């Protein structure tokens, strides 16, 4: 609020991303001060910590922008699914009390006779619980600072009676929230916004807006709009709140490298919320709150946050009509995902939980998209806390191009990036080409996941998140940091351009190996000339 034109930077993540940003026309002022800060953080950054575990050749391949998604420790990109429910339902004072109870029990355990060295693990747990308490107390003080400032302005400077009343209302909310449980929709929206800022910008940078918003806010919508027992308002008032939310999210951004600036043109970041589908009891989750979210999206035509609608036959027609009207407006959302498929995926992945506490059938019903495509759990625990807890991306058509050139990238970098898998002009059968492609794919897939896992390991060592840990029931129970505990596996992998790679392989098999209409020499020459002078051949490959 004090510096609305400032853009946050995260030098503790990637030094390359910061260096690139400082060289752009978007560089913050004063640039010299920003560079000094970035230089200070470079030796302590996640990237500097992770790089020694890779060879120079591996880092060169990992940093190539068109083969795999560059490692999280290099691109600085992150996403999170905050456990909003505990903040709204419990309030942070209760979370503090829980941590204090755990510390008391742990200290009593440490003092028991006779001594057993196995109990030393309790010291780490005590440290984590203590960090949660410190963080939550700081958040309460931060929120109440908002309350104090609103009250000062209202009582000493504001002359408009209506605005003065609004400021005093905001002051009252921020004095209670997020310290105490929410009672109405204004409470819930404020608690969610505070949590969003903390999880996405203050404790650590993260993109995403992953939550099942209608499910999360329905009890508070019901209290304020239907029952009018607390913070009474009309449906139109609720729609206006969701409109304001869209504007606030659209104002929130972060400094990014050229790759992400050009990859997400027209958007300040990736912010996607989910609605619809079924609740944990298998009942329709669509409500008037769902409709209010969609109506707000139609009224306030912002690119972010985008929306995912979880489709199920039980979902009411009134809401489905709003979904299609929103799409018809040309907004590009909601995207539509199948409820049952996401639920089945959560249950299947839950079988691989390291602590045998994966998704229950009830939890699996309540999923939301982590970002654009992959579902993940929402709720009080088992949510994804960092992007490296998930997967990565691989550009499969580029991998095929490398397989056609013995791992050499002639079209972009003019250098060797993949393993040597042989000159395809010497291959006698399609099986040999397929094996070369498989080896290239395996190399880059392994590199992507290895980089992801290395990031995850070092995040738990260097980038602990005590606030997010405090609002996760699993972290609270086990005394573990959110960067370490992962109860529900979510190893999503984004293979970009599969259709291009598969169609290309099918065409090569048909025209070169089966029908022998063309040779591999001709194909490679045509590709290196961008099909210019080979238009008839290009047409044949497209039709194949």
Q: How confident is the model at residue 26 (pLDDT cuts 50, 70, 90)?
A: confident
Average pLDDT over residues 35-42: 92
Average pLDDT over residues 514-524: 97
- Identify whether residues 414 and 428 lie together within a single domain: yes
- Identify whether residues 459 and 469 lie together within a single domain: no
- Identify whether residues 345 and 413 lie together within a single domain: no
Question: Which sign does the torsion angle of CA 274, 17, 65, 74 carry?
Answer: negative
Q: Provide, rounded to the nearest whole percent, the portion of the chain with pLDDT above 70.
A: 99
- Given a cut of 90, is residue 7 above it in pLDDT? no
- Given a cut of 60, is residue 1 above it in pLDDT? no
51 in a domain, yes or no?
A: no
337 in a domain, yes or no?
A: yes
Biggest distance spanned by C-alpha atoms of the chain: 86
- Identify whether residues 398 and 469 lie together within a single domain: no
What pLDDT is attached to residue 34? 84
Average per-residue pLDDT for the chain:
94
- Identify whether residues 312 and 405 lie together within a single domain: no
- Given a cut of 90, is residue 10 above it in pLDDT? no
Q: How many structural domains comprise the chain?
A: 3
- Given a cut of 80, is residue 255 above it in pLDDT? no
50 in a domain, yes or no?
A: no
Average pLDDT over residues 147-155: 98
Q: How confident is the model at residue 4 (pLDDT cuts 50, 70, 90)?
A: low
What pLDDT is attached to residue 219? 98
Average pLDDT over residues 148-157: 97
End-to-end CA distance of the chain: 58
Omega within 30 of 0 (cis) for the link into 178: yes
- Identify whether residues 237 and 122 lie together within a single domain: yes
CA–CA separation, 491 and 348 (whole Å): 12
Question: Which sign does the torsion angle of CA 102, 108, 110, 112 carry?
Answer: negative
Say which CATH number the domain at 238 has. 3.20.70.20
CA–CA separation, 467 and 206 (whole Å): 14
Q: What pTM value is reported for the model?
A: 0.93
- Identify whether residues 111 and 7 lie together within a single domain: no
Q: Provide, rounded to the nearest whole percent, the portion of the chain with pLDDT above 90.
A: 83
What pLDDT is attached to residue 418? 97
Average pLDDT over residues 346-363: 95
- Identify whether residues 169 and 25 lie together within a single domain: no
- Identify whether residues 152 and 37 lie together within a single domain: no
Q: What is the number of other CB atoms lying within 10 angstroms of the CB of residue 210? A: 30
- Chain segment 439-489, per-residue pLDDT in tens: 999 999 999 999 999 999 999 999 999 999 999 999 999 999 999 999 998
Average pLDDT over residues 230-242: 98
> Which domain does 307 fall in, by range?
84-383+465-495
What pLDDT is attached to residue 181? 99
Bridge partners, 309 (sequence order): 275, 336
Average pLDDT over residues 56-62: 96
Tokens representing residue 536 in the block: 């008839």
Average pLDDT over residues 4-27: 83
- Given a cut of 90, is residue 18 above it in pLDDT? no
501 in a domain, yes or no?
A: yes
- Identify whether residues 225 and 326 lie together within a single domain: yes
Q: How confident is the model at residue 260 (pLDDT cuts 50, 70, 90)?
A: confident
- Identify whether residues 331 and 434 lie together within a single domain: no
- Given a cut of 90, is residue 390 above it in pLDDT? no
389 in a domain, yes or no?
A: no
What pLDDT is attached to residue 263? 78
532 in a domain, yes or no?
A: yes
**DSSP H/E element including 338:** strand 335-338
Q: How confident is the model at residue 108 (pLDDT cuts 50, 70, 90)?
A: very high
49 in a domain, yes or no?
A: no
- What are residue 73's phi and psi, to 5 degrees? -75, -10
- Given a cut of 70, is residue 349 above it in pLDDT? yes
- Identify whether residues 347 and 317 lie together within a single domain: yes
- Given a cut of 90, is residue 17 above it in pLDDT? no
Higher-confidence position of 251 and 317: 317
488 in a domain, yes or no?
A: yes
Tokens representing residue 72 in the block: 């999280």
Bridge partners, 376 (sequence order): 368
Average pLDDT over residues 425-431: 97
Environment class of 156 (CB within 10 Å of its CB; exposed 0-12, middle 13-18, buried 19+): exposed
């Amino acid at each position: 609020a004090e510096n609305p034109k400032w853009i946050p930077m995260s030098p503790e993540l990637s030094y390359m991303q910061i260096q690139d940003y400082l060289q752009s026309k978007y560089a913050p002022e004063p640039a010299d001060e920003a560079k000094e800060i970035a230089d200070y953080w470079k030796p302590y950054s996640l990237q500097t910590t992770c790089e020694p575990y890779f060879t120079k050749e591996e880092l060169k391949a990992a940093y190539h922008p068109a083969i795999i998604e560059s490692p999280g420790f290099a691109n600085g990109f992150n996403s999170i699914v905050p456990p909003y429910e505990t903040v709204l339902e419990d309030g942070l004072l209760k979370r503090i009390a829980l941590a204090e109870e755990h510390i008391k029990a742990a200290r009593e355990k440490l003092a028991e006779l006779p001594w057993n060295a196995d109990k030393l693990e309790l010291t780490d747990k005590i440290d984590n619980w203590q960090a949660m308490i410190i963080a939550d107390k700081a958040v309460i003080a931060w929120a109440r600072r908002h309350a104090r400032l609103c009250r000062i302005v209202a009582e000493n400077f504001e002359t408009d009676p209506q605005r003065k009343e609004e400021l005093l209302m905001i002051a009252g909310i921020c004095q209670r929230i997020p310290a105490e449980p929410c009672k109405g929709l204004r409470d819930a929206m404020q608690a969610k916004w505070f949590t969003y800022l903390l999880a996405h910008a203050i404790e650590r940078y993260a993109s995403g807006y992953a939550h099942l918003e209608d499910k999360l806010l329905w009890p508070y919508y019901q209290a304020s709009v239907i029952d009018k027992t607390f913070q009474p308002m009309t449906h139109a008032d609720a729609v206006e709140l969701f409109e304001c939310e869209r504007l606030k999210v659209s104002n929130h951004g972060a400094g990014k490298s050229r790759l992400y600036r050009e990859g997400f043109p027209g958007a300040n970041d990736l912010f996607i919320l989910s609605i619809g589908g079924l609740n944990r009891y298998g009942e329709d989750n669509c409500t008037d709150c769902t409709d209010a979210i969609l109506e707000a999206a139609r009224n306030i035509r912002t690119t972010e946050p985008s929306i995912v609608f979880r489709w199920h036959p039980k979902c009411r027609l009134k809401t489905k009509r709003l979904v299609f009207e929103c799409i018809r407006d040309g907004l590009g959302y909601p995207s539509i995902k199948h409820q049952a498929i996401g639920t089945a995926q959560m249950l299947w992945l839950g079988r691989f939980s390291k602590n045998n506490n994966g998704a229950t059938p009830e939890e699996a019903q309540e999923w939301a998209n982590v970002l654009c495509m992959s579902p993940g759990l929402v709720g009080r625990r088992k949510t994804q806390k960092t992007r490296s807890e998930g997967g990565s991306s691989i550009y499969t058509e580029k991998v095929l191009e490398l397989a056609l050139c013995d791992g050499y990238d002639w079209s972009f970098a003019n250098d060797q990036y993949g393993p040597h898998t042989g000159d395809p002009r010497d291959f006698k059968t399609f099986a040999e080409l397929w094996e070369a492609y498989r080896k290239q794919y395996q190399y880059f897939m392994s590199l992507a996941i290895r980089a992801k896992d290395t990031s995850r390991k070092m995040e738990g060592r260097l980038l602990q998140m005590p606030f997010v840990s405090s609002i996760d029931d699993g972290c609270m129970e086990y005394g573990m940091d959110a960067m370490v505990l992962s109860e529900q596996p979510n190893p999503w992998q984004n293979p970009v351009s599969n259709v291009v790679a598969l169609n290309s392989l099918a065409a090569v098999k048909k025209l070169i190996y089966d029908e022998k209409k063309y040779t591999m020499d001709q194909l490679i020459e045509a590709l290196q000339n961008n099909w210019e002078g080979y238009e008839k051949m290009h047409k044949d490959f497209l039709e194949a």
